[in-house]
Amino acid sequence: MTAELDLALGLVEKDLGDDVARSVAHRLVMHQRRSGGQSQHSEILNLAPRSDRIARALEHARRHLAQSLGVEELAAAANLSPRQFSRVFTAETGQSPAKAVERLRVEAARLMIERSRHPLEVVARETGFRDRRHLREAFMRGFGKPPQSLRRDARLGS
């Protein structure tokens, strides 16, 4: 079924353009309201890369968040030189690779916090943050509130 959705989105993009395809993809991800106040937002969709190379690099990053994920590694996943990768990545997504990786990490951490009872130290380690403090700083930048607040909200179902 996922392949069918990918094909359909590819056809929408080809026929109607990138903006319409992005809107459709966003709606598909957000179609039903999840319980517990869980976010229905996907950073990979939000970044909306135009090329398969950059999409591959983002998917590689998503699968290996606990690793350091430098530009060299992401460039290798995209089969580009680091300099070319940085330039193309920024042009396609509107942000630096480092900022995009942080956003992917924050999204993964948010999901772990909402769906598990792992201590924040474990969440930080599993999603590639140096420590709990670094996780908190990234949450404050991304959501304007600390991860503890998100966990409390998820438990209360709000």
HEC per residue, 123-156 = HHHHCCCCCHHHHHHHHHHHHCCCHHHHHHHHHH
Handedness of CA 5, 126, 141, 81 (dihedral sign): negative
What does the block give as tokens for 133? 């403090």
What is the pLDDT at residue 36? 41
Cβ(58)–Cβ(45) below 8 Å: no
What pLDDT score was predicted for residue 41? 47
* Structural tokens at position 144: 């304007």
pLDDT over 90 for what percent of the chain?
A: 52
- The confidence band for 50, taking pLDDT boundaries of 50, 70 and 90, is confident
What pLDDT does residue 69 have? Answer: 94
Residue 6, SS3? helix
For residue 9, the surrounding DSSP H or E stretch is: helix 2-16
Residue found under tokens 């699968």:
63
Candidate from 16-30, 41-55, 136-150 with smallest mean pLDDT: 16-30
Structure-model confidence comparison of residues 155 and 79, the more confident one: 79
Would you identify the CATH topology of the domain 101-156? Arc Repressor Mutant, subunit A (1.10.10)
1, pLDDT greater than 60:
no
**Lookup: tokens for 18:** 């990138």
Whether the per-residue pLDDT at 45 is higher than 90: the answer is no
- Least confident range from 36-40, 56-60, 139-143: namely 36-40
In this prediction, residue 114 carries a pLDDT of 85
Q: What would the pLDDT profile of 106-154 be if each residue is shown by its tens digit?
A: 999 998 998 888 999 999 999 999 999 999 999 999 888 999 888 887 7
